[in-house]
Amino acid sequence: MRNRFDTQLEQLNNELITFGGLCEQAIGSIVEALLDDNKEKAREAIALEKITDNKEVEIEGLCLKLLLQQQPVAKDLRLISAALKMITDLERIGDQAEDIGEIILRPEPMRRKNALHIVDMAEATAKMVSQSIDAFVRRDLELAHQVMEADDVVDDMFAQVKIDLVDLISQNPQNGEEAINILLIAKYFERIGDHAVNIAEWVEFSITGSHRRDDFQ
Protein backbone atom coordinates (compact mmCIF):
# COMPACT_ATOMS: atom_id res chain seq x y z
CA MET A 1 0.00 0.00 0.00
CA ARG A 2 2.79 2.37 0.99
CA ASN A 3 4.65 1.38 -2.11
CA ARG A 4 1.70 2.35 -4.25
CA PHE A 5 1.48 5.64 -2.39
CA ASP A 6 5.14 6.36 -3.08
CA THR A 7 4.60 5.66 -6.76
CA GLN A 8 1.65 8.02 -6.81
CA LEU A 9 3.64 10.73 -5.06
CA GLU A 10 6.37 10.31 -7.61
CA GLN A 11 3.81 10.56 -10.36
CA LEU A 12 2.52 13.78 -8.81
CA ASN A 13 6.04 15.13 -8.68
CA ASN A 14 6.65 14.29 -12.33
CA GLU A 15 3.30 15.72 -13.41
CA LEU A 16 4.15 18.95 -11.63
CA ILE A 17 7.51 19.12 -13.38
CA THR A 18 5.81 18.50 -16.72
CA PHE A 19 3.28 21.23 -15.96
CA GLY A 20 6.13 23.55 -15.00
CA GLY A 21 7.87 22.67 -18.25
CA LEU A 22 4.73 23.57 -20.22
CA CYS A 23 4.51 26.96 -18.53
CA GLU A 24 8.18 27.57 -19.15
CA GLN A 25 7.65 26.68 -22.78
CA ALA A 26 4.69 29.05 -23.00
CA ILE A 27 6.54 31.97 -21.48
CA GLY A 28 9.65 31.12 -23.55
CA SER A 29 7.55 31.26 -26.71
CA ILE A 30 6.05 34.58 -25.61
CA VAL A 31 9.45 36.13 -24.95
CA GLU A 32 10.66 34.96 -28.34
CA ALA A 33 7.49 36.20 -30.01
CA LEU A 34 7.98 39.57 -28.37
CA LEU A 35 11.67 39.94 -29.16
CA ASP A 36 11.63 38.71 -32.76
CA ASP A 37 8.08 39.74 -33.71
CA ASN A 38 7.43 36.06 -34.26
CA LYS A 39 3.65 35.66 -34.58
CA GLU A 40 4.02 31.90 -34.93
CA LYS A 41 5.52 31.68 -31.45
CA ALA A 42 2.69 33.81 -30.07
CA ARG A 43 0.18 31.33 -31.50
CA GLU A 44 2.13 28.49 -29.94
CA ALA A 45 1.84 30.12 -26.53
CA ILE A 46 -1.89 30.58 -27.03
CA ALA A 47 -2.27 26.93 -28.00
CA LEU A 48 -0.42 25.88 -24.87
CA GLU A 49 -3.02 27.52 -22.67
CA LYS A 50 -5.57 24.77 -23.35
CA ILE A 51 -3.00 22.12 -22.47
CA THR A 52 -2.06 23.84 -19.22
CA ASP A 53 -5.75 24.14 -18.28
CA ASN A 54 -6.21 20.41 -18.75
CA LYS A 55 -3.06 19.70 -16.83
CA GLU A 56 -4.33 21.68 -13.87
CA VAL A 57 -7.55 19.67 -13.73
CA GLU A 58 -5.61 16.43 -14.07
CA ILE A 59 -3.14 17.22 -11.27
CA GLU A 60 -5.91 18.56 -9.05
CA GLY A 61 -7.71 15.22 -9.43
CA LEU A 62 -4.54 13.34 -8.57
CA CYS A 63 -3.98 15.48 -5.46
CA LEU A 64 -7.53 14.99 -4.22
CA LYS A 65 -7.35 11.27 -4.86
CA LEU A 66 -4.12 11.05 -2.86
CA LEU A 67 -5.61 13.09 -0.02
CA LEU A 68 -8.75 10.97 0.18
CA GLN A 69 -7.35 7.53 -0.41
CA GLN A 70 -3.99 7.68 1.31
CA GLN A 71 -4.58 10.24 4.04
CA PRO A 72 -1.01 11.47 3.91
CA VAL A 73 0.75 13.11 6.84
CA ALA A 74 3.69 15.44 7.45
CA LYS A 75 5.99 15.95 4.48
CA ASP A 76 3.74 14.12 2.04
CA LEU A 77 0.74 16.17 3.09
CA ARG A 78 2.80 19.34 2.68
CA LEU A 79 3.86 18.33 -0.81
CA ILE A 80 0.29 17.58 -1.87
CA SER A 81 -1.19 20.74 -0.41
CA ALA A 82 1.66 22.80 -1.91
CA ALA A 83 1.00 21.09 -5.24
CA LEU A 84 -2.69 22.05 -5.06
CA LYS A 85 -1.72 25.70 -4.60
CA MET A 86 1.12 25.65 -7.12
CA ILE A 87 -0.98 24.38 -9.99
CA THR A 88 -3.27 27.38 -9.61
CA ASP A 89 -0.30 29.69 -10.05
CA LEU A 90 1.07 27.66 -12.94
CA GLU A 91 -2.30 27.76 -14.65
CA ARG A 92 -2.46 31.55 -14.20
CA ILE A 93 1.00 31.85 -15.76
CA GLY A 94 -0.29 29.89 -18.75
CA ASP A 95 -3.33 32.18 -18.97
CA GLN A 96 -1.26 35.32 -18.84
CA ALA A 97 1.14 34.02 -21.48
CA GLU A 98 -1.92 33.50 -23.66
CA ASP A 99 -3.11 37.06 -22.95
CA ILE A 100 0.28 38.47 -23.94
CA GLY A 101 0.19 36.31 -27.09
CA GLU A 102 -3.13 37.85 -28.05
CA ILE A 103 -1.78 41.37 -27.64
CA ILE A 104 1.21 40.50 -29.83
CA LEU A 105 -1.14 39.15 -32.49
CA ARG A 106 -3.01 42.48 -32.68
CA PRO A 107 -2.48 44.24 -35.97
CA GLU A 108 -0.93 47.33 -34.42
CA PRO A 109 2.85 47.20 -34.82
CA MET A 110 5.21 47.49 -31.90
CA ARG A 111 8.20 49.12 -33.43
CA ARG A 112 9.63 50.80 -30.41
CA LYS A 113 9.60 47.98 -27.91
CA ASN A 114 13.22 46.90 -28.36
CA ALA A 115 14.39 50.24 -27.07
CA LEU A 116 12.41 49.84 -23.87
CA HIS A 117 12.89 47.99 -20.61
CA ILE A 118 10.05 45.62 -21.52
CA VAL A 119 12.64 43.34 -23.15
CA ASP A 120 14.67 43.07 -19.95
CA MET A 121 11.48 42.56 -18.02
CA ALA A 122 10.33 39.71 -20.26
CA GLU A 123 13.64 37.92 -19.91
CA ALA A 124 13.84 38.47 -16.16
CA THR A 125 10.31 37.10 -15.69
CA ALA A 126 10.97 34.04 -17.82
CA LYS A 127 14.06 33.39 -15.72
CA MET A 128 12.01 33.71 -12.52
CA VAL A 129 9.52 31.13 -13.75
CA SER A 130 12.32 28.74 -14.73
CA GLN A 131 14.06 29.22 -11.41
CA SER A 132 10.91 28.69 -9.38
CA ILE A 133 10.32 25.38 -11.16
CA ASP A 134 13.98 24.47 -10.77
CA ALA A 135 13.65 25.20 -7.07
CA PHE A 136 10.75 22.75 -6.93
CA VAL A 137 12.55 20.07 -8.95
CA ARG A 138 15.72 20.26 -6.89
CA ARG A 139 13.96 21.15 -3.60
CA ASP A 140 16.37 24.07 -3.54
CA LEU A 141 15.48 26.51 -0.77
CA GLU A 142 18.16 28.99 -1.75
CA LEU A 143 16.94 29.19 -5.33
CA ALA A 144 13.38 29.70 -4.05
CA HIS A 145 14.61 32.66 -2.02
CA GLN A 146 16.39 34.03 -5.07
CA VAL A 147 13.09 33.98 -6.95
CA MET A 148 11.38 35.86 -4.11
CA GLU A 149 14.09 38.48 -4.21
CA ALA A 150 14.02 38.75 -8.00
CA ASP A 151 10.43 39.94 -7.73
CA ASP A 152 11.65 43.34 -6.51
CA VAL A 153 13.88 43.60 -9.57
CA VAL A 154 10.95 42.86 -11.88
CA ASP A 155 8.78 45.38 -10.01
CA ASP A 156 11.49 48.02 -10.49
CA MET A 157 11.61 47.15 -14.19
CA PHE A 158 7.85 47.62 -14.37
CA ALA A 159 8.24 51.09 -12.90
CA GLN A 160 10.98 51.77 -15.44
CA VAL A 161 8.77 50.59 -18.30
CA LYS A 162 6.06 52.99 -17.15
CA ILE A 163 8.53 55.87 -17.21
CA ASP A 164 9.66 54.76 -20.69
CA LEU A 165 6.08 54.75 -21.91
CA VAL A 166 5.26 58.17 -20.49
CA ASP A 167 8.32 59.38 -22.35
CA LEU A 168 7.20 57.66 -25.53
CA ILE A 169 3.77 59.27 -25.46
CA SER A 170 5.12 62.70 -24.65
CA GLN A 171 7.45 62.46 -27.65
CA ASN A 172 4.56 61.75 -29.96
CA PRO A 173 0.95 61.21 -28.84
CA GLN A 174 0.50 58.88 -31.80
CA ASN A 175 2.60 56.33 -29.96
CA GLY A 176 -0.23 56.04 -27.45
CA GLU A 177 -1.73 52.82 -28.75
CA GLU A 178 1.60 51.04 -28.89
CA ALA A 179 2.43 52.33 -25.42
CA ILE A 180 -0.82 50.99 -23.98
CA ASN A 181 -0.22 47.58 -25.52
CA ILE A 182 3.24 47.48 -24.05
CA LEU A 183 1.91 48.60 -20.69
CA LEU A 184 -0.56 45.72 -20.72
CA ILE A 185 2.17 43.26 -21.61
CA ALA A 186 4.38 44.66 -18.87
CA LYS A 187 1.56 44.31 -16.36
CA TYR A 188 1.04 40.69 -17.38
CA PHE A 189 4.73 40.00 -16.98
CA GLU A 190 4.62 41.62 -13.58
CA ARG A 191 1.75 39.32 -12.62
CA ILE A 192 3.65 36.29 -13.96
CA GLY A 193 6.55 37.31 -11.74
CA ASP A 194 4.19 37.38 -8.75
CA HIS A 195 2.96 33.89 -9.60
CA ALA A 196 6.55 32.67 -9.83
CA VAL A 197 7.11 34.09 -6.34
CA ASN A 198 3.99 32.26 -5.13
CA ILE A 199 5.37 29.02 -6.54
CA ALA A 200 8.69 29.66 -4.81
CA GLU A 201 6.84 30.27 -1.54
CA TRP A 202 4.99 26.98 -1.86
CA VAL A 203 8.26 25.25 -2.62
CA GLU A 204 9.59 26.70 0.61
CA PHE A 205 6.47 25.50 2.42
CA SER A 206 6.80 21.98 1.07
CA ILE A 207 10.41 21.84 2.25
CA THR A 208 10.30 23.63 5.59
CA GLY A 209 6.62 23.51 6.54
CA SER A 210 6.38 27.25 7.03
CA HIS A 211 4.91 29.67 4.55
CA ARG A 212 5.91 33.27 4.24
CA ARG A 213 2.40 34.51 4.83
CA ASP A 214 2.58 32.96 8.32
CA ASP A 215 5.15 35.60 9.19
CA PHE A 216 2.65 38.39 8.67
CA GLN A 217 0.17 37.07 11.18
Partner 1 sequence: MKQRIFVNLFILAAVTALLTSLFISYLMYESNYALMKEQVKKDVHYLAEAADSAGIEYLLTIADLDETDRITLVNTDGTVAFDSLADNAAMGNHLYRPEIAAAFAGGYGEAVRRSDTLETQTYYCAVLLDNGMVLRLANDNLSVWGILFSTANYILASLLIIFVLALIIAKRQTKKIIEPINSLDLDNPEHNQIYEEIHPLINRLSKQNRQINEQIAHLNSQKQEFLAITENMNEGLLILSKEGKMLSANLSARRFFGLKDNEGEGKHFLELNRSENWQSLIYNALDDKICEQHINFEGRIYRLLATPSRRGEELTGAVVLLFDETEKAEADLRRKEFSANVSHELKTPLTAISGYAELISGGLARPEDIPAFASKIYEEAARLREMVDNIIKLSRLDEEKNLPQKELLDLLPLAQTVCERLQEQAAAKGVSLSIEGQSATVYGSRQILDELIFNLADNAVKYNHQGGEAKISVAATDQGAVLTVSDSGLGIASAQQDRIFERFYRIDKSHSKTTEGSGLGLSIVKYAAFYHNATISLQSEEGHGSTFTVRFPVINN
Residues binding partner 1 (CB under 8 A): 10, 13-14, 17-18, 20-21, 24-25, 133, 137-138
CB closer to partner 1 out of 12 and 80: 12
Burial (CB count within 10 angstroms: exposed 0-12, middle 13-18, buried 19+), residue 155: middle
Q: How many C-beta atoms lie closer than 10 Å to residue 61's C-beta?
A: 10
Q: Which is nearer to partner 1, 146 or 160 (CB)?
A: 146
For partner 1, give the closer residue by CB, 132 or 181. 132
Tell the smallest beta-carbon distance from residue 122 to partner 1 (Å). 18
- Choose between 20 and 193: whose C-beta lies nearer to partner 1: 20
Smallest distance, Å, CB 19 to partner 1? 10
DSSP label at 214?
G
CB of 133 to partner 1, least distance (A): 7
The whole-angstrom separation of Cα 147 and Cα 135 is 9
Torsion sign over Cα 184, 114, 105, 39: negative
**3-state percent helix, strand, coil for the chain, nearest multiple of 5:** 90, 0, 10
Minimum Å gap between C-beta 138 and partner 1 is 7
